[in-house]
Chain A
Amino acid sequence: MILEKIIYGNVTGFDLLETVVFLIIAILIARVVVIYLRRSLKDRMSRDIMEIVIKVIYYTIIVIAVLFVLRRLGIELSGLLVAGGIIGIVIGFATQSIVGNLVSGLFLMIERPIKIGDQVNIDGTSGFVEDIHTVSTIIRTYEGLYVRIPNEKVFTNKITNYVVNTARRFEYVVGIRYSDDADEAIEIIKDLIEEHPIALKSPSATVFVDNLGNNAVNIIVRIWAPPTEWYDLKMEMLWNIKKGLEENGIEIAFPQRTVWFANELHK
C-alpha cells in the first residue's frame, strides 16, 4: 500500500500523512486559542499589547508543533541548521528587499516608534496603524483606504506619531473688532474652555492678545487635549467660542477699510 511505502530512512507515507494531519491540528488549535484570547482580552488590555501577546502565543504553538514533527520524522535540528545556513545565504541574496523589510520590522518592534491603533504619518500617509507585520505595516487612512507600507520604508522615513505623547495642543487665532473689549473676550473664551470637560485643566489653556492686526485684534487661543480627542475638540470649540463671543456682543472682525475723502461729497 502507498502509505506503507518508505519515503526515506524509516519514514513511511503514513508518517508523512500523520505529520500533515498533526500540523493541521496544531494550526487549528493555535487559531482557536487566538480567537478565544481575542474575545477574552478585548476589553481588558490595549489592542497593541493584545496583538503582541496573541502573536507570541500563536507562533509558540506552531514552533512547538514543527519541532515535535521534525523529531518524529527523524530530522536532526543540527543538520537542519547547517542546511538552513547554506539555503539562507542563497535565499538572502535572492530576496534582499524582503530580508531588509524583515530586519526593519524587527527593529520597529524593538524601537516601537508606532503601535497598533496609533494615529501616524509615515512618508506622507496619515491614518491609523492597523497592523505591524514582520515585513510590512498596514495603515488605514482617514479616508478609509488600506495602505501597505514595506517596513524598510517605514524604518527609514520620517514617522510622525500623533498620539505617542499624553497630550496635544492646538490653537486658533480669533480676531475681534477694535471696538470690542479684548479683556472681556479673553475671559469669555477662558470660561468656555473651563466648561468643556475634554479641554485639559493642566497644562492650562493660554489665551492672549497676540497682535493688533490690520482689521482685528488677534487673540491666540491655545488648548491642550488628550491626543485621541483633540480633533473633535478643535472642531467643537471654535464654534463655541464664536457663539460665546457673539452672545456677549463681541463680534469676529472681518476685513474693512475706512475711506476718507479729501473733499466733501456732493449730494
Chain B
Amino acid sequence: MKYLDEFRDEELAQGILAQIRRVLSRPWVLMEICGGQTHAIKRYGIDQLLPPEIELVHGPGCPVCVTPLEQIDKALAIASRPDVTFTSYGDMLRVPGSGRNLFSVRATGGDVRVVYSPLDAVRIAQTQPGRQVVFFAIGFETTAPANAMAVARAKELGLDNFTVLVSHVRVPPAMRAILESPHNRVQGFLAAGHVCAVMGYWEYPAIAKQYDVPIVVTGFEPVDILRGILHAVRLLESGRADVENAYSRTVTPEGNRPAQALIEKVFMQTDRNWRGIGRIPMSGWSLRPAYADFDAELRFDVAAIAPQESPLCIAGQILQGHRKPLDCPAFGSECRPESPLGATMVSSEGACSAYYQYAGSAAAAGE
C-alpha cells in the first residue's frame, strides 16, 4: 500500500545504515519509547543491522504492560458481576491480574467482550438498556481521544448504563521519570510518533534541554526507525540536545488540536501507578468531575483490592530500559505467551513478547 512499501524499501534502509556508520564515532544508548517500535526493531532485525556501538533499550510505551495490576484486578471484579457487560480492547483479556485474567472470567460465565473501537461499547449500551456496560479505557495519548469521545457521546445520549474504568497514562512524565532514575542509561530518545500525532511535540524541548538529551520524533516502518536513529546519532555526535521531527508525514509540531480539545474537556491530569515502575506524579488522566457519572470506579464498589504481582517478573526494570527480556530468569521457561507472568509477555507491544516472537533474530544478535 502507498506510504507503507516505500518506507520498507531495503535499499533505502541500507543507505541510511551506511550514513549512520559514517557519522558514528563512539557508543550511544538510545531508547525507543513505543512498544510498536520495539516490535518493528525485532521483527526486521534492525538491532542486528546497526553498528554495535548503538544500543537500543526498550521503553515503557506499551499501554497493556503499564496498566497497573490494581486496575486489572478492579476490571476482573467488575467483569465478574452478573449485571455487567465488560468491554475491552482485545489485548487486555490475557493480561494476568492477581491470579487470573479476563479470559478466565469469561470462561466462568462473565459477559466479557472485545471491541475494536470504544464507540462499539457505547453502541452495546444503547442496544442493551437493561445491562451495565463498562469499557476498560486504557492507553496512552493515542487512545485518549477515542476514549474521551466515547464518554462524551454517552453523556450526549444520556446513557445511564455506560461507564468507563479509566487507566490512562501520558508519555512525557514517564520520560522524565526514566531520566531522573539513578540507573538511567538513556542518552537519546526516539519519541513515539503516534503519540506525537495526537499531542504534537511542543512539550519536548523543555525535557531535551533540562536533561541534555536529544529527542527525535520517529515513525514505525524500518526506514522511519533508521532515519530516527540517524537523526539522534547526528545530534549526539554534535552535542546538541535538540528536538527533531523525522516523521513529518504524520506529525506536526502542534499535533491534533480537535483531539487535544476533547481530551482536555473529558479528562484531567492525575498521579498514576505504572505496572512494575510505580507511581509517577501527574502521569495520567482521570475523568473530570463533570463526567463522574460515567466513572466505573464510583458506580461499582471496587476500592479495597490488594494486588499480588509475580515475584519473578522484572518487567518494571525492562520498561525503564535498565534490563532486557533475556535478563529475566523466567523468560521462555516459566513465562511464555501462553502462560505469561507479566504483561510485557502478553501484548503485541510488549518487549518480552517481541523477544519471544522473534527469538531467532535475538539469538543471532548475540544478546
A and B part of one assembly: no
List chain B positions with a Cβ less than 8 A from chain A: none
Give residues in A with beta carbon < 8 Å to B.
Answer: none
